[in-house]
Amino acid sequence: MKSDGSKKPVISRTRLDPEERREQILGAALEAFHVKGYGQTSVRDLGQAVGMSVAGMYHYFPTKEDILFAIIDNSVDRLVLGLEGARASADSPEDRLRAMLAETVRIVIEHRAEIRILIDNADKLPTERQEQIRRKRAESAAMVRAELERLRAAGRLADHLDLNVITFSINGMANWVYHWYRPEGPMGVGELTDQMSDIFLNGILR
């Protein structure tokens, strides 16, 4: 039956399941923490962003710290899974290092807000949760170090270089991209990762 126009149309609202609601909250928190800062964002702010009361928010995340931990934990998981996939995609240690560097840079650029929150706010978590994050980040460092050890065993790595220094240097170089790289600039991600790989593996001097 056609409407006679005398009544306002009824808007159908889709009820989100718990996992969808959690993702909605995390999405709002990701934007707020990135733009305003973790310390300047309240649970009330996040509740208003997703149309929930503070009490409703606590049903999904008992504290603001739980929201921060979920964002950081997700970002570290993404990095570890990305490195695992990149490592499996190449055959030689050098190519695996190139692939892992390229994948890390891609993730850092595509998920810049997450990476910034990870780097700037991980120390705001309690010690136990910081340790959980540290263990996961150590997994990614171990994958890089393993390929460096293979290069050293093959006689292709300078003897005087310390493996820990190299490992943390490549991870730091890749992670810090979020701070300065601008996707709208003249250099694409592919060229960026090629140049970073050349700098890391070959140096800058002729």
Q: Is residue 8 part of a domain?
A: no
How many structural domains is the chain composed of? 2
Kindly tell me the number of DSSP H helices and DSSP E strands found in the chain.
10, 0
Q: Are residues 71 and 95 in the same domain?
A: yes
Residues 6 or more apart from 150 whose CB is under 8 A from it?
Answer: 93
Q: Is residue 10 part of a domain?
A: no
Predicted local distance difference test score (pLDDT) of residue 206: 75
Q: How far apart are CA 117 and CA 30, in angstroms?
A: 8
The pTM of the full predicted model, rounded to 2 decimals, is: 0.87
What are 12-37's pLDDT values in tens digits? Answer: 345 678 899 999 999 999 999 999 99
What are 144-180's pLDDT values in tens digits? Answer: 999 999 999 999 999 999 999 999 999 999 999 999 9
Q: Is residue 85 part of a domain?
A: yes
Supply the range of the domain harboring residue 27.
15-62
Residue 74 has pLDDT above 80, yes or no: yes
What are 173-199's pLDDT values in tens digits? Answer: 999 999 999 989 999 999 999 999 999
CATH of the domain at 41: 1.10.10.60
Q: Name the pLDDT band for 1 (thresholds 50, 70, 90).
A: very low
Q: How far apart are CA 193 and CA 170, in angstroms?
A: 12
Q: What single-letter DSSP state applies at residue 158?
A: -
Between the two ends of the chain, the Cα-to-Cα distance in Å is 80
